[in-house]
Amino acid sequence: MVYAVFAPLIFAIIIPFLSRLKHKIHTGWLILPIPLLIFFYFIQFVGAGFEPVSQSINWIPSLNIAIDFYLDGLSLLFVLLISGIGALVVLYSIYYLSKDEQIGHFYTYLYIFMSSMLGVVLSDNVFVLYTFWEFTSLSSFLLIGYWHYREKSRYGALKSMLITVLGGFSLLAGLILLTLETGTTSIRGMIEQADVIVNSEHFIFILVFLLLGAFTKSAQFPFHIWLPDAMEAPTPVSAYLHSATMVKAGIYLMARFSPIFSEVPLFFILLSIFGLVTLAWASYMAVRQTDLKGILAFSTISQLGMIMAMLGFGTSYAVFAAVFHILNHATFKGSLFMVAGIVDHETGTRDIRKLGGLMTFMPISATLAIFGTFSMAGVPLPFLNGFYSKELFFESSLHLGEYSGTFVETLITYIPIVAVVGSIFTFIYSMYLFFGTFRGKYQEDELPKKPHEAPIMMLVPPMILVIGVIVIGLFPNIFNQALISHSADAVYGSDVEKHVKYWHGFDSPAFQMSLIVVGLGILLFLTKKKWEGVYRVLPGTLSFNRVYDWTVEKIESVSNKITTAYMTGSLRLYMILILTAIISITAGTILATEGFNFNIDDLAPITAPEVIVAVIMAVAAIGTTIAKNRIAAILILGVVGYGLSILFVMYRAPDLALTQLIVETVTVVLFLLCFYHLPNLKADTNSLAKRGTNVLVSVAYGVLMFVIGVTAYNSRFAETIADFYMENTYKLGGGHNAVNVILVDFRGIDTLFEITVLFAAALGIYAMIKLRRNKGAK
């Protein structure tokens, strides 16, 4: 599993080199085998006798953090979707994206995202999960903003980043609380201590934090506003991120932690309300969209709301329906996104007002769209998988858990009604999408390009997904026994037995609800022009996007004012602010933790020579501040450094003395070289108040350093590590000089990075010098 998770990430490193061959062979062909191999590796686990598999690699043992991967039914379902649809998206993108574009960047971002999603669904350690979770936000930001020269792409990328990352911070807070309450970082370990979590005084915070993380990632109301703007990404990205993977991450999170919260009424209330509101509102708003991907975006939001609501219902019936619909939604929605991309690619527009009558020119695409849209609408046909999960959704809304309370009982009463209303609009936008694009009047003058069918290889990916729609519809129980039941078991926490069948009889309430949806859906679709004026009233001018834009604008405005207030170009002001912050924070910490412990009994005795050297250093430091000449100031300042070297010698620290001598000498020489070319210092014309401020800050900072030096020696909150170094310097490091061994061996990585920083700075200086010379030569 480890290789499967990190293989796309490793390949992402070499994709930029492979993309140099793009004019000979499309980069997509070179990297297509990776998701295929991952898919075929995991397909071997599918079957009735599947048993969970785990794998662990130590990462940060001192913090009890290991890279723990756990493959159960739920993660297996998601892994197959991530890798399988990922392979189809790569194949589709080969014909969608031109070789002249920066396809190396595209595939690099895509494979980072693929690896991140695999890590999210396979991680058993909550902090490893969170790490991958944030990588999905970062990589999706890059993918959505792929066409960065477009303002809408940049806007959509930033919007998705801000909302999902804020949700990620909330998720992190919830995971930290879970870890503190249970004493484990393992998700399985937390599930085993569900009673501890539920009875915790922090339970409400844990639940709300996790819900915010899930709602923002899976575009639940009112955080759904980022998803429509994310449609500015290339269509392969939309087909992958926004139908099968990223937006399902929040669904996965709720499904994974469902065994902990499923018996809690508040979990049922929150997920049911927000899920159903998301379903109804997004399906209602989808009907008013004119962009094909805009319709599909709100469609995705509504479908995610339906799945979230079913997870909230918490019954075995609802859990099975939710898991089944995750699979079904990925097949029909992925194919529809690809068909929308084909329409855009072959006609030059996604505006449904300009489209129509394309079935004659694009018969294969139209056929694929029929299966996708009718399955999404839940049309009662046995070869459409969407109908089965829609029926299960209705059935689960009628048989909810035994929850007490007036509000809960009222909510249970209205849930089936909201489910039907949301599904009616789902039917309407599905018909609107198909008939508005492929039927009706052909508008040749409105199209930038003469329409024609896409290349056959571009049609293969949506064909495969549509075949999935049909096969699942015809043989649902094969998938049930081999995959879906295992996934539902993992979510529900115990065995879920469910036999899926098409016909339940006319007496079935769920089937009657489906007939109501189809009947009213057809009526409202045919009369759409007569009632669509309702959108001028609801939502009218109201928009959560305006709230988001206003909030971001205000934050930027206030930030700009604050920054302008202190970024004046005055070095003096910067130093005062920095030193004041250090003084305030450090002194406040010392006082708050009672760290002031002034005791000089155990200090080395102070003799006359040390006092003389200290006085000389103090006089030199004061002299530096009143010197009129830069060169003189630098030389006087050097006295302070050399005086410190003498003190090191007196206190028997020759290695420190030698280091200080070298550093001071180099510093003085460099200062002399630099400041020699600058004019002499001017007389101090600052006001008395400014000079008084300078003195006050300087004295306060000096006193603070003195206090830290004395109290740090006397304040011991733990055993000193010095004894460890003295005992192991020779044994582990092979040297007698403890300081050298610490720097080279015990802190070898720190030293390496310090050298790296110096090397990078040297390269930067060299580059600036070279640029200056080249500029002078011109």
754 part of a folded domain: yes
- Taking the chain (778 residues) in runs of 10, the rounded mean pLDDT of each run is 92 90 87 95 90 88 81 95 95 90 92 96 94 95 93 94 95 96 93 94 96 95 93 92 86 95 91 96 95 94 96 92 95 95 93 93 95 94 90 91 76 93 96 94 89 93 96 91 91 83 80 94 94 90 89 93 88 90 89 73 79 91 82 87 90 85 88 74 72 88 86 72 83 80 81 88 87 66
482 and 563 together in one domain: no
pLDDT score at 740: 80
Instruction: Examine residue 670 and state whether it is found in any structural domain, yes or no.
Output: no
**For residue 9, which amino acid is it?**
L
Please tell me whether residues 485 and 555 are part of one structural domain: no
Are 418 and 553 contained in the same domain? Answer: no
Instruction: Report yes or no on 622 lying in a domain.
Output: no
Residue 207 resides in a domain: no
CA distance 55 to 70: 7
Q: How far is CA 588 from CA 124, 321, 594, 681, 708, in A?
A: 40, 56, 10, 36, 12
* Alpha helices (runs of H) in 439-543, residue ranges in sequence order: 456-474, 476-479, 485-492, 509-526, 528-531
Residues 6+ apart with CB under 8 A from 163: 216, 223, 225, 226, 548
Do residues 457 and 441 both lie within one domain? yes
* The predicted structure's pLDDT at residue 775: 63
Whether 410 and 397 share a structural domain = yes
pLDDT at 673: 80
The rounded distance, in Å, linking the Cα atoms of 643 and 638 is: 8
Long-range contacts for 682-688 (Cβ within 8 Å, ≥24 apart)? 683/628
- Both 530 and 435 in one domain: the answer is yes
Taking the model in full, what pTM does it have? 0.84
Closest alpha carbon to 42 in 85, 8, 77: 77
Same domain, 527 and 554: no
- The rounded distance, in Å, linking the Cα atoms of 666 and 635 is 12
Are 521 and 562 in the same domain? no
Q: How many domains does the chain have?
A: 3
How far apart are alpha carbons 4 and 306 in whole angstroms? 31
Please tell me the predicted confidence (pLDDT) of residue 36.
Answer: 96
Q: In terms of domains, do 419 and 555 share one? A: no
Give the domain extent around 548: 539-567
364 Cβ contact list (under 8 Å, min separation 6):
453, 454, 459
- Within a domain: 371: yes
Alpha helices in 567-680 (DSSP H): 571-592, 608-626, 630-650, 654-675
300: burial class by Cβ within 10 Å (0-12, 13-18, 19+)? buried
Distance from the Cα of residue 391 to its chain's centroid: 33
> φ, ψ for residue 186 (rounded to 5)?
-90, 130
499 with 560, same domain: the answer is: no
d(CA 663, CA 695): 27
In this structure, the answer to whether residues 295 and 356 fall within a common structural domain is yes
545 and 492 together in one domain: no
Q: How far apart are CA 172 and CA 253, in angstroms?
A: 12
Question: First CA to last CA across the chain, in angstroms?
Answer: 57
pLDDT for 682 = 67
